Structures are given as C-alpha cells and as structure tokens.
Amino acid sequence: MSSPKRVCIVGSGNWGSAIAKIVGTNARNNSKFDSTVNMWVFEETVNGRKLTEIINTDHENVKYLPGHKLPENVVAVPDLLDAAKSADILLFVIPHQFIGRVCDTMKGQIKPDTLGMSLIKGVDEGPDGLKLISEVIREKLGIKMSVLMGANIANEVAEEKFCETTIGCRDQAQGALLKELMQTHHFRVTVVQEADVVEICGALKNIVAVGAGFCDGLGFGDNTKAASCGVADLITTCYGGRNRKVAEAFAKTGKSLEELEKEMLNGQKLQGPATAAEVHTILKNKGVLDRFPLFNAVYGICYEGRPVTEFIHCLQNHPEHQ
C-alpha cells in the first residue's frame, strides 16, 4: 500500500477555514491520508496575537470563520513553502487576485507529482483571452489540476447545513481520491470530467451576484433579480453571498466598493468586481462586449463611475430582446 497522502490547504480565509474543518476530519479518519493537515496562513495580528498562534492554540480562525472549532490535526503554518513542500495534495483556496504571487513563490519547491485542486472562483486575463485559475496554477507549477466548485457558502458549510458540490477532474482514480478527502455526510460530492465547465460557472456567477445586489439595493423585485439568475450556485450567490450583500450596500449608500468591503467583510475579499474587470478586457479584446450587457453593466458601475441607478437601463437593450 502506498504511504498516506499529505494534504496542504493553501489559504485560510472564510472558505479555506470551512474546508479545513472538513478535510481535517476526513484526513484523521481515513488511513489513505496523513492525519496532519497543513494550512498555510497569510500571517497577520489579531487582537495582539499572531493568527497562526491563535489557530494552533485555540483551534479557531477567529477572524475569518469565528465560532467554529477546527480539528486539532489542522496545523496553521505561516511560511508557504514549509506548509506546501512535502504535500502530495494541494488545495488552493485563496482570493483569486493573489494566486500569481503565491504560485511564483512555490515554483520548483514542491513535489513534482503533487495533485492540485483549485477551490478558487475567479479568472485570469491572459494575452489570448480568458485563462482559468487552474490553468494558471498548472502552468506555473507543472502539476495536475482539478477543481471543486458549488453552491457552497462557507459559513453554511461550516455549520454542516446540507449542500452539494462538484469536483471537475479528468482522471477517474484521482477524482475518487479527492472525493474521499472532501465528502462528508453534509457536503456531498459529484465528480465529473468537464473540469473547465465547472470552473467557469463558479467564476462567472460572482459577476451576476454583484448585479443581483444592485437590484436589491435599488429596490427592484424578485422578477428583476431572477432575470439575471441561473441555477444552483447562481441562486445561492444571488441570495446569500458576499458579492450580492456588498453590491446592495453600494447601491443604497453610495459608498465605494473598497470602503464597503473593508467595513462589511473584515478582511474577506470580493471576487465579483475583479472578475467583471478581467472578463470585460477579454470580451472587449474579442469585440463581443455588446453580447454581454449584464457583465458590461456591472463593470461600468464598478469601474467607470456609471451610476448604479442606471443598472436596469443598461440591461434594456439586450441583443436577445431585439
């Protein structure tokens, strides 16, 4: 039998910490995995103490997932390479804007046959257009990549409220192993081969969530909001997510998104506005902006000073309506 796989979680925000709860418990109870799970923590001081020290002593990420104990076999490590260098499985779960720098630090310093899985929702804009975050990681680190995405609001997952998620993995055996690592009674995993589709849906729904927040902030009804809504993660994100919540406050208060993110999220990061900017560049370069009025409108409001009160206006000339 092969030796137990060592798992490292690269990230320790709201979702990273909820995932640590699951992965720590599963690794401890399954001999296929080493029971110690490293979690890389971007170090900061909270109430005069280092966050890593708080997590390793009190077993709670008091800043990003307060109120939930993490399993004691989850070890917070402040140095990225110390955390990741001996890992057989790397779970990437940081806000997408930081992935480039994190991979540059890891490059050449991890095991070459490590399996990676991205839980990150976002995209990157490469010179040839849209680039998936898993692709960025694969290219920079030269490792096999899968993804995990779903309608999974971190606090609800941590509270063990039932939900479903999808792993996109092209290799059946690896998919089965990753499922064993991630699945619990409350967090049910389906493995599919279409990894790119899983990832792109997870990323783009965040832009729609910002639009849904604008609708709420402007006082529109459920019909208006649903006009921009799809299935599963879209529904969840348009009701319960941070992108929606902050966008609503933006429409109501007139404060900037940066200010509201700081005020309302205590260090957590919105992915929707940045994704809108990346997707905007990609669509513009391809000359197809006019086919995506919702993405265009969200971008214009977030970055070009278009008044949020014109949001619905921007949507009234959808090419499908002509």
Ligand X SMILES: NC(=O)C1=CN([C@@H]2O[C@H](COP(=O)(O)OP(=O)(O)OC[C@H]3O[C@@H](n4cnc5c(N)ncnc54)[C@H](O)[C@@H]3O)[C@@H](O)[C@H]2O)C=CC1
Catalytic residues: 205
Closest distance between ligand X and the C-beta of residue 163, in Å? Answer: 10
What gap in Å lies between CA 42 and CA 216, rounded to an integer? Answer: 34
Tell me the three state secondary structure of residue 116.
strand
The span from the CA of 30 to the CA of 24, in Å, is 10
- Check whether 287 is labelled as a binding-site residue: no
Residues 6+ apart with CB under 8 A from 3: none
Give the single-character DSSP code of 151.
S
**Residue 267 region by backbone torsions, left for phi larger than 0, else alpha for psi between -120 and 50, else beta:** left
Tell me the closest approach of the beta carbon of residue 211 to ligand 13P, in angstroms.
12
Does 316 belong to an annotated binding site? no
Which positions from 272 through 311 interact with ligand 13P, judged by CB under 6 A? Answer: none
Secondary structure of residue 285 in the 3-state scheme: helix
Provide the minimum distance between the beta carbon of 207 and ligand 13P in the complex, in angstroms, as a whole number. Answer: 10
- The whole-angstrom separation of Cα 110 and Cα 37 is 16
Q: Whose CA is closest to 70, among 25, 21, 29?
A: 21
Which residue lies nearest ligand X, judged by its C-beta? Answer: 13
Q: Name the site residues for ligand X (rule: CB under 6 A).
A: 11-16, 42, 64, 93-96, 98, 119-122, 152-154, 267-269, 271
24 vs 150, which CB is nearer to ligand 13P?
A: 150
| Interacting residues with ligand 13P between 116 and 135 (CB under 6 A) | 121
Query: Binding pattern to ligand 13P, positions 199-238, x when CB under 6 A?
Result: -------x--x-----------------------x--xx-
Residue 55 to residue 18: CA distance in whole angstroms: 13
Structure tokens at 50: 């280092």
Selection from 8, 79, 17 nearest residue 267 by Cα: 17
Give 248's DSSP letter: H
Q: CB of 321: closest distance to ligand X in angstroms?
A: 31
Q: Which is nearer to ligand 13P, 82 or 164 (CB)?
A: 164
The answer to whether 14 is annotated as binding is: yes
Asked whether 213 and 246 are in contact (CB, 8 A), the reply is: yes
To ligand 13P, the closest distance from the beta carbon of 305 in angstroms equals 23
Report the partner that residue 220 touches, choosing among ligand 13P, ligand X, none (CB closer than 5 to 8 A by kind): none
Cβ closest to ligand X, residue 278 vs residue 314 = 278
- CB-nearer residue toward ligand X: 210 or 315: 210
In the block, which residue shows the tokens 């694969």? 138
Q: Which residues bind ligand 13P (CB under 6 A)?
A: 121, 151-153, 206, 209, 233, 236-237, 241-243, 271
Annotated binding site for substrate: 121, 242-243
